Structure 1
Amino acid sequence: MSRPRLLLALAASPLLLLAACGGGDAGGSPGASAAGTVHVSLTDDGCTAEPSSVPAGSTTFEVVNDGAGAVTEAELVNAGGRIVGERENLTPGLSASFSLDLEAGDYTVQCPNAATESSPFTVTGASATPSATASATGDPLFAAATRGYQDYVRAQVADLFTATGAFAAAVEAGDVERAKALYGPARAPYERVEPVAESFGDLDPLIDARVADVEDPATWGGFHRIEQALWVDGTTAGMTPVARELVAHVAELDELVATTTYQPADLANGASALLDEVAASKVTGEEEAYSHLDLLDFAANVEGARRAFDLLTPALQVTDPELVADLATRFDAVTASLAPYRQGESYVSYTTLSPEQVRALATGVDALAEPLSTVSGKVVGAASR
């Protein structure tokens, strides 16, 4: 999930120095700066978009942290409350971008933890069919990619619902060892599609928050609250209501993804976001602070990113086969780097890794993340033609 605080030193690796996404040119539309580019500056006071209004169509958002210590992410939120694009984990001086095919309507640019957390953003033009459909129907390859991703997300969340139900049943039964054994299998499908869950505003924190992410620890729930009880306290005492709420929140996510559609850029932005997650909390050992199953989450994030990339590959192969080959090689390298740590259906404890092994894993992810960050701009540019 998104983390609104400073990253550990290791997380401030080259992985977070993502190159600006290219190819998101909207063709010099009036009212937009520099060919469909919107600049968002993060400060402790708030976040402003320049310009604050653009025509519907392809737009690239370039986000820079202008010295904000407490503000590390920017989100574009539509009128329905869904996050349609974001960049997070941007410590002072860092920048990154995302590209989208925007529909006309009212949006807000949000920056959690700023003095003023939101500002209005308007997309002008005639209303159209949902952008996921509009972007994809012009090219059957993109249409197949978005349909494939919709199926993938639905399948992963269905698996999540089943696995979470089994995990919660063990918690309610007071079976600590069985609950521990079922915790990892419940986490993996969530981590594969985490950016989709994060797009639904407050739902992700209810499922995936860590104690440092909540203002009042007494209200803390979700996976990590139960994780703490199992591995630190060695008990399920008091966890039955937490487990039941977790199942209810996952059921809500299952209902939401059943009707959610995607545009090609969602796949590309989501893949980059998953690599951001690896850098921000998995390769640092922050995510699974009690069970230390961080490598399982690491692998699931990479698997989710790879699936999105694989679905986009037929369309990207037409316009940039060299990038496709390069990214495939880098994905294979990251997957291979995790293989020595595989242990049955899971992975060894993060605590068994040496600093050198952690650096080697981070280096491989760094090498993948930068070229992967260019894909959304290329996808938006191609899908909108």
Structure 2
Amino acid sequence: MTDLARPLTLVSALAVTAVALTGCVAKTAVDPAASFTVDSGADACTVSSDSATSGTLSFDVTNSGDQITEFYLLASDGLRIVGEVENIAPAASRTLTVVAQPGDYFTVCKPGMIGEGVGRAAFTVTGDEVALEGPDAEQKQQAVDLYAAFVKDQVGQLVPAVEDLTSAYIAGDDEKARSLFPLTRAYYERIEPVAESLGDLDPRIDFREVDAVADGLDWTGFHRIEKDLWQPAKDALNADGETSAWADWAPSTPQERGEYADLLTADVQELYDYVHSEDFMSALNDQGIAGISNGAVALLDEVATGKITGEEDWWSGTDLYDFAANVEGSKMAFSLVSDFVTSKGDDGAALVEEISDGYAALEEALAVHGSLQDGFTPFPELSDTDRRDLVDLINALAEPLSQLTSTALS
């Protein structure tokens, strides 16, 4: 059985260590010349410039379309995500702040948050390598090392948890597999932005059926297994009285179950190999404090765009497990940069206090519905008031959290 006590203990231990970090953050304020505007429309992604000098870059993204959108800065391979900002509502604006090393990149927007996106364009960064320096370089590196240790621990526990889950799934012990499913996913949900940075690895592990179809991908991973484990009647209707996603559905044969299990095991092993590689540490070191801070924001966006709608674990209704794990991972990342933000004076300290209060309020509200250890209320059983209250708390936390990266780098 998966043990969820250890990751929670680790989160607390790392947070305590983070509090011990001292010193002032290096002066990497965003120069006006390194600030860009992005217009994300229905079929275009217009960036105010296609080049920059290495250092701290800021992209102010405005959604001029009629769908929720995302903006990405991609590495030269067009797959690895260097920075992203999600959940930008129509007429709203969000800011992405990253530390960019010299090299070739791509910018792209994703209206509707599915598919390949629109307006992909080359973006070039010139200049010198950005290195950690100054009196707080050691503290910055320690924060990066602590986050790397957290990620490695979570993935290290994910591997055997997936083995237990898939073994039960292959054996046809669906009751056991259903009990393991949400607990196993918690390890993944805490560090999901790491997998999302690796091109098609996250889609293979965690895409919903509708996302895989939209992107023209073979549907595999957690949610493919989930659909086998929770099978309502084929003639079930959705909330609108229409034929549900179960129409023409055929449960997997024993051979197919084995194939899906093997694919998930292999993909999780690939994630494990990556987070224990030099490439992973190099990517973390390149992103530095900004990467950790943006990870905190990305995980809360995961809650806002999927978990709180009940669309993530469509068949099992275990979305609150994912919700809790995303919040834990986000809070972990926040804890590692909070000292740097506090060092910015009264404004930074006030921002950290506001964010901390936001996490506390969200955790308190979530605890009303259960816990990872004892289980959560199935998402469909939440009342409209319950969901609205959680949405309000997420939005209240998202606003100050969105300021975290730019404040840490100021």
Q: What does residue 226 of structure 1 align with? A: 225
**Which letter does structure 2 place at the counterpart of 1:242?**
Y
Cα 1:114–1:255 change in 2 (3 A) is: closer
**Which letter does structure 2 place at the counterpart of 1:78?**
A
**Which letter does structure 1 place at the counterpart of 2:223?**
H
**Which letter does structure 2 place at the counterpart of 1:121?**
F
**Which letter does structure 2 place at the counterpart of 1:346?**
G
Cα 1:76–1:51 change in 2 (3 A) is: same
Q: What does residue 6 of structure 1 align with? A: none
Q: What does residue 26 of structure 1 align with? A: 30
Cα 1:45–1:365 change in 2 (3 A) is: closer
Q: What does residue 17 of structure 1 align with? A: none
In structure 2, what is the Cα distance between the partners aligned to 1:168 and 1:302?
26
TM score, norm. by length of structure 2: 0.79
Gaps of 5+ in 2: 1-26, 234-250
CA shift at 1:116, angstroms?
Answer: 4.7
In structure 2, what is the Cα distance between the partners aligned to 1:156 and 1:246?
16
Moved over 6 A (4+): none
In structure 1, what is the Cα distance between the partners aligned to 2:407 and 2:349?
12
Identity of aligned pairs, percent?
Answer: 37
CA shift at 1:145, angstroms?
Answer: 1.3
Q: What are the Cα deviations for residues 281-337 of structure 1, in whole angstroms up to 9, with x where unaligned?
A: 111111111110111111001000110011112222222222222221221111111
CA shift at 1:136, angstroms?
Answer: 9.1
The correspondence for 2:300, drawn from 260, 275, 280, is 275
C-alpha contact (below 8 Å) 2:107/2:120 kept by paired residues: yes
Matches within 5 A, 1:92-103: 92-103=90-101
Question: SS where residue 362 of structure 2 aligns?
Answer: helix
In structure 2, what is the Cα distance between the partners aligned to 1:79 and 1:115?
16
RMSD: 2.3
In structure 2, what is the Cα distance between the partners aligned to 1:145 and 1:296?
27
Q: What does residue 84 of structure 1 align with? A: 82
The correspondence for 1:298, drawn from 304, 323, 346, is 323
Question: SS where residue 51 of structure 1 aligns?
Answer: coil
Higher normalized contact order (CA 8 Å, seq sep 6+, divided by chain length): 1
CA shift at 1:246, angstroms?
Answer: 0.7
The correspondence for 1:351, drawn from 375, 380, 400, is 380
In structure 2, what is the Cα distance between the partners aligned to 1:270 and 1:226?
27
The correspondence for 1:287, drawn from 312, 320, 333, is 312
In structure 1, what is the Cα distance between the partners aligned to 2:133 and 2:384?
44
CA shift at 1:230, angstroms?
Answer: 0.6
Question: SS where residue 41 of structure 1 aligns?
Answer: strand
In structure 1, what is the Cα distance between the partners aligned to 2:163 and 2:312?
22
In structure 1, what is the Cα distance between the partners aligned to 2:150 and 2:51?
34
CA shift at 1:114, angstroms?
Answer: 6.8
Q: What does residue 142 of structure 1 align with? A: 140
Q: What does residue 56 of structure 2 align with? A: 58
**Which letter does structure 1 place at the counterpart of 2:397?**
L
Cα 1:89–1:326 change in 2 (3 A) is: closer
**Which letter does structure 2 place at the counterpart of 1:79?**
S
CA shift at 1:90, angstroms?
Answer: 2.6
Q: What are the Cα deviations for residues 326-355 of structure 1, in whole angstroms up to 9, with x where unaligned?
A: 221221111111112115532110111110
C-alpha contact (below 8 Å) 1:73/1:88 kept by paired residues: yes
In structure 2, what is the Cα distance between the partners aligned to 1:218 and 1:275?
26
In structure 1, what is the Cα distance between the partners aligned to 2:135 and 2:156?
27
Q: What are the Cα deviations for residues 341-373 of structure 1, in whole angstroms up to 9, with x where unaligned?
A: 115532110111110011111111111111011
**Which letter does structure 2 place at the counterpart of 1:356?**
T
Q: What does residue 364 of structure 2 align with? A: 336
In structure 2, what is the Cα distance between the partners aligned to 1:236 and 1:166?
19
C-alpha contact (below 8 Å) 2:204/2:221 kept by paired residues: yes
The correspondence for 1:38, drawn from 36, 39, 56, is 36
Matches within 5 A, 1:310-329: 310-319=335-344, 320-329=348-357
**Which letter does structure 2 place at the counterpart of 1:224?**
H
In structure 1, what is the Cα distance between the partners aligned to 2:289 and 2:217?
40
Question: SS where residue 42 of structure 2 aligns?
Answer: coil
C-alpha contact (below 8 Å) 2:28/2:55 kept by paired residues: no
Q: What does residue 121 of structure 1 align with? A: 123
Question: SS where residue 100 of structure 1 aligns?
Answer: strand
Q: What does residue 272 of structure 2 align with? A: 254
C-alpha contact (below 8 Å) 1:159/1:189 kept by paired residues: yes
Q: What does residue 397 of structure 2 align with? A: 368
